[in-house]
Structure 1
Amino acid sequence: MNINNFKKVIWPFFWVEHEKSVSVCLNVGEYKTEIFQEREEEGFEGNGYDWASLAKVFLEERKPELMEDVKFDPEADMFCAYSSNTDALKIFIIAFKEACENKILIQDLFSRAELD
């Protein structure tokens, strides 16, 4: 997959290349906010930490082989995953974005996310 197609597939997540690693990020509050509204009374806001909690459940349950390679560094207004293994992060974000587009699957995964 060429880089332009890849960027379209993962949008609104965006890819950032660094000297020795890569990141994939999301400005929160613009995508799938309804996921987090369902657990708002528990304290979920849809911030970067909440996205990271959801992504961790996804990684543990759907892509455990990538757990050694994919790490998270969220902030209040941004979700960020990073890795020194470019292929691992690409596999993760493509699969995670597909999961986000599957309402039943993403709600099921989010039901096990823990507030950070």
Structure 2
Amino acid sequence: MTNNTFYPFKLSEYGGAYSLLLTDLKWDAFEEAGFLGNGHDWNRLIENLCKDKQIDLIQALEFDSEADMFCVRSHNKEVLEKISEFVSEFYDDKDSLLNHISKYAQYG
């Protein structure tokens, strides 16, 4: 763990918009669950997690992931901090991560 408030993400700011970036995508855990583990898989996981936990979060988000990184943007820094809190609860615990992948990384 780190003292980064937005762990496991990196936060950047440009022109009044904030971005959360994730480059350690935990490929192995996603592959173990039958997914590629790319940024698009993280998109689904985060989007579905937000819908489940706090549906109003999703309206403030703009996803912009690539194959090798996850990125989500918002003008609301607190929304991104909430996402960081959700993910930091399971990111470093492989069993919990696998459970979240199975539950939230699904299409639809």
Q: Higher relative CO (CA 8 A, sep ≥ 6), structure 1 or 2?
A: 2
TM-score (norm 2): 0.79
Are the counterparts in 2 of residues 63 and 92 from structure 1 also a CA contact under 8 Å? no
- Structure 2, unmatched stretches of 5+, are none
Aligned partners of 1:84, 1:8: CA distance in 2, in Å?
17
Aligned partners of 2:25, 2:83: CA distance in 1, in Å?
18
- Structure 1, unmatched stretches of 5+, are none
Question: Size of the alignment, in residue pairs?
Answer: 106
TM-score (norm 1): 0.74
Identical pairs, percent: 29
Structure 1 ranges of 4+ moved more than 3 A:
101-106
Deviation of residue 77 (structure 1)?
1.0
Are the counterparts in 1 of residues 10 and 21 from structure 2 also a CA contact under 8 Å? yes
Picking from 9, 13, 16, the partner of 1:17 is 13
Give the aligned residue type for 2:53.
R
Deviation of residue 64 (structure 1)?
2.0
Deviation of residue 102 (structure 1)?
4.3
